[in-house]
Amino acid sequence: PRDTVDVVIVGSGGAGFSAAVSAYDNGAKVILIEKEPVIGGNAKLAAGGMNAAWTDQQKAKDIKDSPELMYKDTMKGGRDLNDPALVEILSSHSKGSVDWMTQMGADLTDVGRMGGASVNRSHRPTGGAGVGAHVVQVLYDNAVKRNIDLRMNTRGIEVLKTDDGKVKGILVKGMYKGYYWVKADAVVLATGGFAKNNDRVASLDPKLKGFISTNQPGAVGDGLDVAENAGGALKDMQYIQAHPTLSVKGGVMVTEAVRGNGAILVNREGKRFVNEITTRDKASAAILGQTGKSAFLIFDDSVRKSLSKIDKYIGLGVAPTADSLVKLGKMEGIDGKALTETVARYNTLVASGKDTDFERPNLPRALNEGNYYAIEVTPGIHHTMGGVMIDTKAEVVNAKKQVIPGLYGAGEVTGGVHGANRLGGNAISDIITFGRLAGEEAAKYSKKN
Ligand code: ADP
């Protein structure tokens, strides 16, 4: 019958689609449900890249990296509060995940640097297209090719279990059909985070009350309630990530790659105040410490040319430009004289190859070509680290770490992979690796049951 399958996947972001394709390829009959009228969740908004170590793409560019180094960077970025076993999977499977996506048609050949990474390992399409939109499109095309039953406007409400506690399906609500249940041996929760739910965010971290969020409207965390009602434990819920650079003028998230490719951060006084490539939580705290709780990304045409995404910001009107730093300062209310001195000083540091002021680890280029640009930025809520507890097979577990048979979780809905702070580029890596793993494990489980 139509509503009886092996595996139901809840959520159509990167984790959900990865799980659906991988469950299918492991022999399962699959339904994917999505509560919103559009696919892609937050995943399709991701602009940075997909972190992976020891890839062919890195080797082609002579970048020396290893899963061990990715593990170390991820643990350090997460303040060592990550679940080490999950980080081990993230790092050691990352190359395989890039290869998997590449085999399915993705272009992840450009490799850039993002905050908290010791080397360039953020894989993205060459030419600056958004990695999230690209990855979701490739996964969607592959789901369509496999004829996977995709049901939009359909919300997962409650996991149904047998008397002995095994998953037997899920109660859903379709926009037109109303409530019905889908019978399945396994359910994969891939419902994303809750950054858009400011009541929930502020109840966990009062400092974040009223913060704007970059997330899509579906990111309110109802999947967490579904998991909890099914017996799953939540962990690390208090760790909520504010992205350091949301445009004040436009409310768009300005990708870390702008800094990675050479922009500096200055305050209204025209001065640098932080290593621009530090972790997101440190950069956010530093910006909130400046006059007006905002700061400016300053760059020139050489940075603009290095990243096509910047033209999008210019098109959106959030990156005013002028042919001198004094003029730019006047337009934006920054001390232009100090700004001129700051940029001159920064250029000397670039020439010397060492940032003795703030220990910035990469100094890709001097800022002295053509026009200058300023994007005013402030931190906003970007990612929720906490969520459903899973084990190394992506099985959802209860507070005693006992498996709930047939229930799986992957992506932002889970907690543990990122500890207290997620590194840029690790979200796409997480959703592909754990989505794929959850799909495979769920398919295998359903064969046995
Ligand atoms: P991830 O990055 O972990 O893949 P995303 O935010 O990209 O997460 O995607 C999660 C998707 O799940 C979103 O499209 C969201 O609308 C959807 N979703 C959230 N809760 C439910 C639910 N209860 N039922 C169906 N879909 C849901």
In short, whether 232's Cβ falls inside 6 Å of ligand 1 is no
Tell which atom from ligand 1 comes closest to the C-alpha of 17.
Answer: 4
Cβ(110)–Cβ(121) below 8 Å: no
Say how many Å lie between the CA of residue 441 and the centre of ligand 1: 20
Give the pLDDT mean for 371-397. Answer: 95
With a pLDDT cut of 70, the percent of the chain lying above it is: 99
Tell me if ipTM is over 0.95: yes
Q: Does residue 81 carry a pLDDT above 70?
A: yes
DSSP, residue by residue, 200-231:
HHHHH-GGGTT--B-S-TT-S-HHHHHHHHTT
What's residue 317's pLDDT?
83
Q: How far does residue 420's CA lie from ligand 1's centre (Å)?
A: 22
pLDDT class for 23, splitting at 50, 70, 90?
Answer: very high
Mean pLDDT computed over 376-389:
93
Determine if ligand 1 sits within 6 Å of the CB of residue 223. yes
Asked if residue 241 lies in contact with residue 422, where contact means CB atoms within 8 angstroms, the answer is: yes
Torsion of CA 256, 260, 261, 265, to 10 degrees: 80
pTM of the model: 0.84
C-alpha of residue 440 to centroid of ligand 1, in Å: 19
Is residue 198 pLDDT above 70, yes or no?
A: yes
pLDDT in tens, 154-179: 999 999 999 999 999 999 999 999 99
The whole-number pLDDT of residue 171 equals: 98
Q: Range with the lowest mean pLDDT among 83-97, 279-293, 343-357, 400-414?
A: 279-293
Q: Which atom of ligand 1 is nearest to the CA of 15?
A: 4
- Tens-place pLDDT, residues 307-321: 988 998 887 789 999
Question: Residue 316 has what pLDDT?
Answer: 76
* Residue-level pLDDT at 45: 81
